[in-house]
């Protein structure tokens, strides 16, 4: 059984650019959640995908978007990057049905730096 | 109402001592309270979790105490070891929010040998 993997590990972009981050969920998991963790802070929920549909969203603007694929892997896309988008982006997977609170397992994250 | 407040911000403990980290929440709909441990450069790893139908849960050296009426819960690390030095996050979620975790601000624990 493989854990949650994310790519790339590190990324440097300039303001205004677009970025795509990728996540492979743990084997058997059908739900992927994305979090943004600023330096020295707790992770903040961005959104969750369940069976390829967005299943809840935090207080993030529409330029943060995502996808989930039939194999339950996921992408996080951020358009028009701003300096404040610099953070560690975490993906977490779980095996869940609607309304459940199954354990989320986190990947190692992608460190995004916006210059 | 969605906040989870965590304290202290940092904690220094001697090897063999007890580390205690506290969290308080406001949303009474929260029904699952996990604790995560995070090492530098790594993602958070689940340590232990509790649901509000019990007041205490113990796994090895780690214990969660839960006070539903006070809307508070805490992590106790017994016999703290230098390898426990990490950042600890409490979190909470409600079944109705489909697993959206609300995290505390984190506690940096340092265990001196």
Question: Which of A4, A33, A43 has its CB closest to that of B99?
Answer: A33
Contact A97, A84 (CB under 8 A): no
Interface contact A68, partner B, CB < 8 A:
no
Mean residue pLDDT of chain B comes to 93
CA distance A70 to A49: 11
Q: How many domains does chain B have?
A: 1
Mean pLDDT on A45-55: 90
Contact B25, B71 (CB under 8 A): yes
Q: Which residues of B touch A101 (CB under 8 A)?
A: 31-32, 93-95, 99
Question: Which of A42, A104, A108 has its CB closest to that of B99?
Answer: A104
Tens of pLDDT, residue by residue over A60-101, are: 999 999 999 998 899 999 999 999 999 999 999 988 765 455
The residue among B44, B45, B52, B57 with the most chain A CBs within 10 A of its CB, best to mutate, is: B44
Range of the domain at B81: 4-112
Mean pLDDT on B17-28: 96
What residue of A is the nearest CA neighbor of B39?
A108
Tens of pLDDT, residue by residue over B48-62, are: 999 888 999 999 999
Residue B51, domain CATH: 2.60.40.10
For residue B84, what is the enclosing H or E element? none
């Amino acid at each position: 059984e493989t854990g949650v993997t994310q790519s790339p590990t590190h990324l440097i972009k300039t303001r205004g650019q677009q970025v795509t981050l990728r996540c492979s969920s743990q084997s058997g998991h059908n739900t992927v959640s994305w979090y943004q963790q600023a330096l020295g802070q707790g992770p903040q929920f961005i959104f969750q995908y369940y069976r390829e549909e967005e299943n809840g969203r935090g207080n993030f603007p529409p330029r943060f978007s995502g996808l989930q694929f039939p194999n339950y892997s996921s992408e996080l896309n951020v358009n028009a990057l701003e300096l404040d988008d610099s953070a560690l982006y975490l993906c977490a997977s779980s095996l869940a049905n609607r309304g459940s609170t199954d354990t989320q397992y986190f990947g190692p994250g992608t460190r995004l730096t916006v210059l | 109402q969605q906040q989870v407040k965590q304290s202290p911000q940092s904690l220094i403990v001697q090897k063999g001592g007890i580390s205690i980290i506290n969290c308080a929440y406001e949303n009474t709909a929260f029904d699952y309270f996990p604790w995560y441990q995070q090492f530098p450069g790594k993602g958070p790893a689940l340590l232990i979790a509790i649901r509000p139908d019990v007041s205490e849960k113990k796994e090895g050296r780690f214990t969660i105490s839960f006070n539903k009426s006070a809307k508070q819960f805490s992590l106790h690390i017994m016999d703290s070891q230098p390898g426990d030095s990490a950042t600890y996050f409490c979190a909470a979620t409600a079944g109705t929010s489909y697993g959206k975790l609300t995290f505390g601000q984190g506690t940096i624990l340092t265990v001196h040998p």
